Amino acid sequence: MSSHTFIEPTERGWGKKLSDGTWNGMIGMLHRNEVDLAIGPFVVTEERAQVIEYTKQLTDNYLGIIGGRQRQTQFNMFSFILAFNWQVWCGMISSFLLFTFTLSLVQSVISRPENTAYFRLGRFMKIWRKLLLDVFFNSPGFIGTYLSWRLVMGIWWLAVLVLIHAFGGQLKAAMAVHKEPPRINTLYDLSNKPHIRPVLRSGGAYSNYFQMSLVGHQKKVWSQLKNHFGLVDPSEVYTLANFQSTVRQSSVILGDLVSSTYAISQICYLIPGGKFYLGRERFYRHPLAMAVQKNSHRQLLKRINTVLTRLTEGGFIEHWIWKVKADWMKCEDRYSDTEGKTLSFTELRATFAIWLIGVTIATVVLVLEYVSKLDFSRRFKMR
């Protein structure tokens, strides 16, 4: 009958080679013959293989970026204006003035009385008002009898119809789908946001990957890790405080996909107002395996590999991994953003704001007109 004892490493880490040539963590305990087997699983590296021996490979894993955001996004009061960007608005205003000037010029050339100017501000403003009313009422109020006039109006209304339907469709989409803040999907994205704090477990193959990298944006990420003190103990990576920080979009977590999805599934219920995502980029592919002493008993290693072969070939390990991912997806479905809902005052407050601004402007104009009328009456009486 076999017996076994579980021992927790004092350094609470997988194992890293120190400057004096010794190892810490579980790798150090194996190297010093303090334990026979370290479950890990460990990232398979050539440097570690010099002091320990790996079992049969369990699976492949990748590093990824874990980010987050608030589920309830902040609405811009005048978000309806953002249905078009500023270039489109500038183009619309310029085109509106150009068409008004062209129609005014056509009318002046055809029906201009003798000895009058080709361009008159009154005529321009009259046509401008008519075109503006046509846009709001969505129908041409006046056509004209001249071919040149009809050609200009035809082009004008073709553009108006396209813009009105484009604006309406974009506005409906903006109300139905809330705009999310930009995600950090790649290490390049992260390197371009130096204010973001990346969090990574220290003292292992993951930190060595960034420390030894010669790629420009990965070197920037390594600098961010040092500047923001993002290299933390393995037990402090997937903490509630770090996940809350990702929801505030002030940090991201750099971790392997299996551990990350499991951590999210366990902690997301504690942050009901937060939503998490995995960045699209997968980097640092690495095999995972258990580890034994370098000169371990061959029979022990053979028995361990036999059990691991049964687990991998039977699909148990892959099943466990997919179960972790399924648990994470259940966590996401719990707070689905696709549920039907009515529009709130927050989403439509711009309409009420426009009404209030219009009433305010009309009141100011009314006061000015009243004051002007009183002043005119006083002057008339004085005469």
Q: Is residue 364 part of a domain?
A: no
Q: Are residues 170 and 194 located together in one domain of the fold? A: no
Q: What is the pLDDT of residues 210-265, one digit of tens each?
A: 998 999 999 999 999 999 999 998 888 999 999 999 999 999 999 988 888 888 88
User: Which of 293, 314, 334 marks a domain boundary?
Assistant: 334
Of the residues 176, 195, 223, which one is the last residue of a structural domain? 176
Q: Final residue of a domain: which of 137, 157, 176?
A: 176
pLDDT digits (tens, 9 = 90+) for 145-201: 566 666 777 777 777 777 777 777 777 766 666 667 788 999 999 999 999 999 998
Residue 171: domain span: 79-176
pLDDT over 70, % of the chain: 72
- Condensed to tens digits (0 to 9), the pLDDT of residues 56-81 reads 888 888 899 999 888 765 555 566 66
* 340 falls within a domain: no
| pTM (2 d.p.) | 0.60
- Domain with 66 in it: what CATH number? 3.40.190.10
Are 225 and 83 members of one domain? no
In-domain check, residue 382:
no
Do 223 and 125 belong to one domain? no
In a shared domain, residues 96 and 205 = no
Token pair in block for residue 338:
């696709």
pLDDT surpassing 70 at residue 143: no
Give residue-wise pLDDT tens across range 26-57. Answer: 888 888 888 888 887 888 888 888 888 888 88
Check residues 44 and 380 and name the one with the higher pLDDT: 44
User: In this structure, are 187 and 140 located in the same domain?
Assistant: no
Please report whether residue 351 resides in a domain. no
Same-domain pairing of 70 and 217: yes
Say whether both 193 and 273 belong to one domain: yes
Residues 218 and 236 in one domain: yes
Q: Are residues 184 and 172 in the same domain?
A: no
Shared-domain flag, residues 197 and 297? yes
Q: How many structural domains does the chain have?
A: 2
